[in-house]
């Protein structure tokens, strides 16, 4: 890799406040807010609106719509 052209990758906590779910991963995003993780280390935290813990597809609450936009009854 060439030096000086790639963004810095660091550990970041992504938090879904609606579902009370958070996970630690590496990302190039940075945040001014921090959170203390389970291991006692402080990491930057990025709040997201939706994650696999709250998305209807992953939670099994998705509804199927037909082409006219009506909810499938059966």
pLDDT digits 0-9 by tens, 17-48: 877 888 899 999 989 999 999 999 999 998 88
Cβ(7)–Cβ(26) below 8 Å:
no
Alpha helices (runs of H) in 1-74, residue ranges in sequence order = 56-59
pLDDT of residue 60: 61
The three-state secondary structure class of 17 is coil
pLDDT of residue 8: 87
pLDDT class of 2 with cuts at 50, 70, 90: confident
pLDDT digits 0-9 by tens, 61-73: 656 666 555 555 5
Kindly provide the residue ranges of all beta strands, DSSP E only, lying in 17-62, ordered along the sequence.
21-27, 34-36, 42-48
pTM of the model: 0.66
pLDDT of residue 17: 80
């Amino acid at each position: 890799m060439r030096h000086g052209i790639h963004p810095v990758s660091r550990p970041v906590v992504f938090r879904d406040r609606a579902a009370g779910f958070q996970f630690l991963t590496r990302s190039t995003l940075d945040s001014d807010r921090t959170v203390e993780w389970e291991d006692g280390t402080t990491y930057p935290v990025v709040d997201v609106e939706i994650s696999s813990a709250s998305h209807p597809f992953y939670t099994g609450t998705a509804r199927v719509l037909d082409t006219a936009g009506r909810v499938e009854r059966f």
